[in-house]
Structure formats: C-alpha cells, structure tokens
A and B are shown apart, each in its own frame.
Chain A
C-alpha cells in the first residue's frame, strides 16, 4: 500500500528487502537511530507479510489437494499403461495400451458401462423430478417448515452402508416388506436380487431415497430467490398454480436444475457403495449375472478382488473420460438452450 513511500524514505531498507534477505534481519539498519530501525523492520515485515500471506493461506489446500488428488490422477494414467498386480506390487512392467484394449474387448466392461447408464438414468430422473415437486410444496407457507425440511433430509445423514443393508432386507424375495406390500395390490412377487430390471430398480431406489431431500433443498433455495412480482404478474394474466409453476418457477430454476443434473450425473457415474452392499457376498460382481455391476464396482472388482491394479487404473480413466464427454455434451446443450431463448 505505502511501500513506494517507504522505499523513498528509507533507501537502505528497500535495498535490504531484496530477495534472499530474511525478513527479520535488521543488520544493515544498525547505523540508524533506534526508532527508524524499528520502523524499517516493521515496514519490511509488513510488506513481506502482505505479499506472502495469500500464498501461505492457499498453500495447505493446494499442497494437500495436489498430493492426494491431482498427482494420483496422473499416476493412475501411468499405472493404466502398466501391468500392476496386487500380489506383486513392486514388479511393474510396461503394458502400453493393453489394459485399454483388454477393456474394450471385455463384455463385462460394456455391461458395466450399460448398467452405469441405465441405473444412472432410473435413479437421477425420478429423483430430480420428485425433488422439484417436493421443493414446490416446501415453498408453500407451512406450519413447522423447518421440521419438514429436516425430516426430508434425514436420509442424507444415513450412510450408504446402513441404508443399503436395510433396503436389501426390504427387497428380499420372501418375507421382504416390498413384495408383501405389492401382494396387496395383486402384484406377483418380484425377484429384486436376481432379475435384471428389478435389481437395477432396487439399487436406484436407495440412491433416490438418500438424495431426493437434498436436491429438494437446493431447489427450494433457488425458488425462494424468484422475485414475487413474476408470480403476481402471472396471476394477473390469469395463470393458475400449475401454469405458474410451469411458466415461472421452472424457467427461473433452469440454472439450478442444470447444476443438480451435473452433480447427480457425476454421482451416478461413480455409483459404488449401493450395488456393492446390495449384492452381499457377490457384491463386487454386481449380482450373479453382473446385472447391476457398475463401472465403479467393476474397477473395485478388477483391482482388489481379482488383483489387477493396472486394469483398474484403466477403468478409472475410462470413467473420467466418460465424465468429460458428459460435461462436453452438457455444455453444448446449455449453449443451445441459451441460444434458443
């Protein structure tokens, strides 16, 4: 702030502030009077402090984040080009693109990719639609509004492990709560563990249960930011509640909806805990027929059950590429939407 002035007043001190001089070294100012000495030391410390402090404050974050997230990211790419076995970790040999070639010719990889997509779709779409409706209701003038919000968020506080264990039991073939309730509606019991769609739906329902309330709160926050006069003028134009919701609320929420779509898509791509625990003993296989083996599970299975860490790295990078593609598609769609408006 006042550094140029100080430099003029104390030429000696500014020379000392050259790089390499420790900030506390007061040696050169000895010839001067005591007050000036203190002053220049302070001035230098002050300048050094204002310059260095921002870096010192962001450094822990970047050092830790770099060491445990960014550098591993690159190493994963490196390992994906190697043959790395869990049984002999120190013995790594160059494999080139073998791991990737292996993946592309593996039915299980394509199966996992397909499952990740289908489970992602049947968990994300209903979840976000329900959240939108729920947020709309929570936005009414309610008695005990905080209580309702807290209750809707409770599943979020439940861990994947606990939630999945409970749902697994609810979905069991005989004696399970879900089939028992269905039988009152005259529906034949569904084999939630073995059937293709049944099991995928069961896994998705755990995701939906845990995250709907969370997304509803995000929508609610955005709804409360919509200016009142928009609704008033819509009401004057004769729009009923549904029309107001469709033509005022939803368009105003578009950025937030996009945000939740992106976040949920990322979450769906990484789906792991729910299918792992839902499968019990054969968890990492995603059921007897791999019917709900996601990419996340496939990576865990190849890496830590079968023990091929090189291949697991290749799967991890495929997941990343998939995310990048999704992000790019998203960006394109957003641009389109904006242009068409």
Chain B
C-alpha cells in the first residue's frame, strides 16, 4: 500500500463493477442487467484479468433489486460462468430501507466480499443515500457474522474519518475503496488521491474508483501508489470522450495493459485473496 509496493512489483487487484444501480440499458445498451448477461460479463472480465467482480441485481425491467432471491440468481449464474473470481456483493441502496440492504449478504454461499458505504451522499435533486452509523454498524455486524470481507466505500474525506474510527474492528488488512467524482464524492484530482492515501493506516490496502472521465487518470495514479483499481460500466460508460465503451471487459483490458506498462503484475483471484486477507 505504498509507492514502494509499486516499485516492488506488487500485484494489482482489478475489480470489475459490471452493472450498478443508477443507470441501465437506457444509458448504455451493453450494460448487463439479467443474471445471464451479468454472468457473461463476469466471465469475459475474468478472462481479461479481473480477480474481483462487484455485483448488483436488477428486475427484468432493469429496475433495482435487493432481494436475496434475486442476488442468489445473479451470484449462482456468475459462479457457474467463471472459474475462480472473487464475488463481491453490493450493499448500497440509495432510498432503500435497511432491511433490504442486508439481503445481498444472505446468499448461499455468502459472498467473499461486500461493499460497505461509510456515510451519506446525494443523488439527483432530492434523494440521499443516508448510510447512518447505525446502518453501517448493522451491515458490518452481519458481514462479520457471515465471514464477509467489507470493502469500505469512502466517497469523501468524511467517510475516511468514519472508516478510521472503526479500523480497529476490522480484520487485517483493512480494505478501503477511495471514490472520486462529482457531488458529494471526493474532488476528482490527483491531489485528493495523494492526500487520502497519506491518511491510510500502514497495513491498509486501497482501491481507486474514479467516476466517468476520472477513472483512467486516477486508477493509473492508484497503481503508481501501490493501490488496486476498480473499472466497469457501473462507474463509467465512456471509454474516451464522446465514445461509449464496448463492454466491461474493455475497461479491464485497458487497466491490465496500463499495469503491465507500469511494471505491476495483475493479481490472480488466489493472489487477490492473499493480498486482501479473504
């Protein structure tokens, strides 16, 4: 988790975020929504070098789904279609009640990882993802009970404060996902990333997630700082300015190419499990 890790050629973990809950085929025709589509996307991302797949579930209409049953369909399809990829379920759910937020943790088997949003953020004009401390605690407790590694979603500096406050409760290494973009996210700038990384505990591992056009430069910088990267249509539908990406795998392929040019090997799923203490 440092520039020395980059110099030492520490493997970089690539996470593919395939679907999300904000946008769908109305925004990008190739964004996967059905279990079969999500599974196919996961398989191509694994073949391209992703070692973690971040999953959301959808209804047939493309609308959001949080139920254990729908997540079970998605995760079963992904497990069938992939060889060894680490499965990470989202527990995010702007506007959704707490009892639904925990349902993605209750699949059989449990996901190896799950996202844990560390505080509030705004959506559109009138919608807020509250993520109160009570909600975070409830989700985190259930993750611990089920042996699920939390990925701490740090949407801004305040969420980093919240994360550091519970870091003693986490199994080592704590895993932070540093998120940059508009609105209530951290200001998307290299200075912000450098500052965030400088505040992390020494034993931490971190991932970099940049929304939209910030994905390429900030994930590249994350690799130089010894971090890991998350790419995919959930966070960015454009491959470059004005050009829609072809697929989730296209983003993974680019991240793998960049890592190779920078001298960082790409972690296999087994290496990712070792690095992240799964």
| B is a partner of A | no
